[in-house]
Amino acid sequence: MTSQTTVDAKGPGDEAPAGRSDHGPSAGLRGHPWFTLITVAVGVMMVALDGTIVAIANPAIAKDLGATFAEVQWITNAYFLALAVSLITAGKLGDRFGHRQTFLIGVVGFAAASGAIGLSDSIALVVTFRVFQGLFGALLMPAALGLLRATFPAEKLNMAIGIWGMVIGASTAGGPILGGVLVEHVSWQSVFFINVPVGALALVLGVLILLDHRAENAPRSFDLLGIALLSGAMFCLVWALIKAPTWGWGDGTTWLFIVVSLVGFVAFAFWETKVKEPLIPLRLFRSVPLSAGVVLMVLMAIAFMGGLFFVTFYLQNVHGMSPIDAGLHLLPLTGMMIVGSPLAGVLITKLGPRVPLAGGMLCTAVAMYGMSTLDTGTGSAVMSLWFALLGLGLAPVMVGATEVIVGNAPMELSGVAGGLQQAAMQIGGSLGTAVLGAVMASKVDSDLPGNWKDAGLPPLTPGQLDQASEAVQVGVAPVQPSMPEAVAAKITDVAHDTFISGMSLASLVAAGVAVVAVFVALLTKRGANADAGAGVGHL
C-alpha cells in the first residue's frame, strides 16, 4: 500500500504524492524542492553551528559571569542532553502534526532561546536557556529531513541530502573560526545573538516556501509511556557518558546509570510490541539496511567526533595556536566536506550506497591512522593531508547513511527516522568522546610517571601526579610561573610527548572503529521506500 501526503494551504482534494513537491500554477516558490532545501539548510545551520561555536565562547562566559569550570561544562552538557534525549520524540511530533509546523516552531524557539542567552546575566540562566535551545533544536533537525524526504523525488534525494550534509559539516567545522572572530572582536553574547537574524530569515523562508506533506496513515495518538521510557533510558545513557570522565569508568555510579539505561531500553522495546501506535515501530529494524545505517552512523561519529576532540587540544595546547588559527588549520577537513558531500550524493545515486559508504569509512580509517603519527614537530602540510582525507571519507558517510536510514523507513515514519539518524550521531559522538577520552587518560596515567622520572624531574606526590595527569590529558604542561626556565622546558617536553602518545593510541582505536564500520557499510542498500514510502524495506 502506498502512503500519500496531504498538503496544507490547498483546496479540497489537492494532494502531493510522497517524495514529490506540488507544482500548481500559483506555486512558483512554494513547495519547490530546491527552495525547500535552502530553507531547511538555513535552519539546521543554526543548530550545527551551536554544537562547536559555543566552545570558543566558554572561557569568556566563565570570566564575565564568574562561573566555575564545572558550571561552564554545563553550558555544553545541558544543550547536548536536551538535544539527544528529545530527538526521536520530536521526530514523532513532526510525523503527527506535520514537519512544516515543527520546523517553524523549532526555528522560532531556537532563535528566541539564543537571544535570551545573550541577555542573560548569570550562569544559571545561560544553562537554562541552553536546555531550551536543545529542545527546540531537536524539533528542527528531524523535521528538516522529513521535509526533504517528502519534497524530493527519489533520483534527487541523495543530492539534496548531500547538500544538507555539506551545510552541517561546514557549520560544525566552521564554528570555531566564526566563534573565535566574534569573541575576539565583538563579545561572547554575539555568538548567541547571531542566531536571531538567521532564525528570522529561516522563519520568513519557511512561511513562504515550505509545504506540509503529511502521510494519510500518520500516527493519530501518542505513546506517552514509550516516550517516558525512551527519554529516561536515553537520559541515563548520555548522563553516564558525560559524567564518566569525572566519576571514573570503574565507579559504581557510572555503571548504575548504564544498567538503568539498559533496563529502560529493554522495557521500552517490550512496551512497543504491546501499544497500538508505538513511538518507534520495531518492524523498522527488520530492515537490515536501516539497522546497518543506524549502527554505521554511531560508528562514524565515534571515530570522527572522538578523534577530532583531541585534535583541537593538539593544535592549541601543543602547537600553541589561537582558536582562530586552529580553526583555519581544520579548513582542509571543512573544504573536503563541502566539496565531497554533493559529489557523494551524485555517486550514491549512480552506484548505490554500499561502495561509497565502505570507501568513505576506509578513507576515515586511513586518516585516523595518519593522525596517530602526528607529533610535536609535524608541519601544517602533513596535518592538512590527513584532515583533508578525513573530510573526504566523512562526506559519503554523512550523506549515504542518512539516506539509508530515512529512505528505508515508510513515509509516515520519516520524522522518527530523522530522529534516529540524529540520535545515532549524537550518541556516537558522546561515546567517542567518553571512550577515547578514557583511552587517553589510561595511556597518560600509565606513561607520565616513567616519562617524568626519565627526564630527571623532581618526584611528585600522588596528588601532584593526579593534577599533572589531568593537565597533560588536554595537552597542557603543568608549569608553575616560579619554575626555572630549564625545568619548565623539560616539563613541557614531557607533557607534550605524553599527550602525543595518548592521542596516538586514541586515534588508532578510532581507526579500528572505522575499519569495523567498513564491513557494516556492506550491509546497506538504497532506500526501498524513497519513492513513496511503501513500508519497511527488506533485503
Condensed to tens digits (0 to 9), the pLDDT of residues 56-67 reads 777 778 778 877
Most confident of 3-7, 79-83, 127-131, 414-418: 127-131
Read off the pLDDT band of 515 (50, 70, 90): very high
Integer Cα distance of 244 and 253 in angstroms? 9
The answer to whether residue 262 scores a pLDDT higher than 90 is yes
Read off the pLDDT band of 214 (50, 70, 90): low
The answer to whether residue 14 scores a pLDDT higher than 50 is no
Lowest mean pLDDT among 97-101, 240-244, 269-273, 408-412: 408-412
Interhelix angle 69-97/224-247, rounded to 10 degrees, is 160
What pLDDT score was predicted for residue 396? Answer: 86
Q: Mean pLDDT, to the nearest integer, of 257-282?
A: 85
Integer Cα distance of 139 and 324 in angstroms? 31
- State the DSSP code for 457: P
Integer Cα distance of 63 and 84 in angstroms? 28
List, as one string, the DSSP characters of 189-218: HHHHHTHHHHHHHHHHHHHHH---EEETT-
- Cα distances (angstroms) measured from residue 78 to each of 42, 128, 134, 136, 193: 24, 8, 8, 13, 19
Mark 263-283 as b/e (b = at least 16 C-beta within 10 Å): ebbebbbebbeeeeebbbbee
Integer Cα distance of 539 and 522 in angstroms? 12
The answer to whether residue 480 scores a pLDDT higher than 90 is no
Cell of 388: 583533508
SS3 call for 14: coil
The answer to whether residue 115 scores a pLDDT higher than 50 is yes
Is the domain spanning 17-220 CATH 1.10.1740.10? The answer is: no
* Summary mean pLDDT of the chain: 80
Q: pLDDT by residue (tens digit) across 409-443?
A: 777 676 777 777 778 887 887 778 778 888 888 88
Read off the pLDDT band of 15 (50, 70, 90): very low
- 275 vs 52 pLDDT, higher one: 275
Integer Cα distance of 356 and 351 in angstroms? 8
The answer to whether residue 450 scores a pLDDT higher than 80 is yes
What pLDDT score was predicted for residue 26? Answer: 37
Q: What ranges in 210-287 are assigned the alpha helix state H?
A: 224-247, 252-272
Residue 458, number of CB atoms within 10 A of its CB: 7
SS3 call for 5: strand
Half-sphere exposure of 335 (CA within 13 A, CB side): 12
What pLDDT score was predicted for residue 218? Answer: 59
The answer to whether residue 29 scores a pLDDT higher than 80 is no
Q: Mean pLDDT, to the nearest integer, of 345-361?
A: 86
SS3 call for 57: helix
Question: What number does CATH give the domain 287-532?
Answer: 1.20.1250.20
Lowest mean pLDDT among 134-138, 300-304, 493-497: 300-304
Integer Cα distance of 82 and 41 in angstroms? 22
Contact 479, 265 (CB under 8 A): no
**Residue 251, C-beta contacts closer than 8 angstroms, at least 6 positions apart:** none
Cell of 289: 539496511
- 9 vs 475 pLDDT, higher one: 475
What pLDDT score was predicted for residue 529? Answer: 52
Q: Mean pLDDT, to the nearest integer, of 534-538?
A: 33
Contact 222, 147 (CB under 8 A): no
**Residue 374, C-beta contacts closer than 8 angstroms, at least 6 positions apart:** 314, 382, 383, 386, 500, 503, 504
The answer to whether residue 472 scores a pLDDT higher than 80 is yes
Integer Cα distance of 313 and 320 in angstroms? 9
Read off the pLDDT band of 183 (50, 70, 90): confident
Q: Mean pLDDT, to the nearest integer, of 190-210?
A: 90
- Domain 17-220 identical in fold to domain 287-532: yes
Please name the amino acid found at residue 114: S
- State the DSSP code for 458: P
The answer to whether residue 8 scores a pLDDT higher than 50 is no
Read off the pLDDT band of 70 (50, 70, 90): low
Considering the chain, what percentage of its residues have pLDDT values greater than 90? 15
Domains of the chain: which residue ranges? Answer: 17-220, 223-276, 287-532
Q: Mean pLDDT, to the nearest integer, of 241-259?
A: 82
What pLDDT score was predicted for residue 23? Answer: 39
Residue 89, number of CB atoms within 10 A of its CB: 26
The answer to whether residue 24 scores a pLDDT higher than 50 is no
Q: pLDDT by residue (tens digit) across 310-338?
A: 787 888 888 888 767 877 887 888 788 77
Contact 284, 413 (CB under 8 A): yes
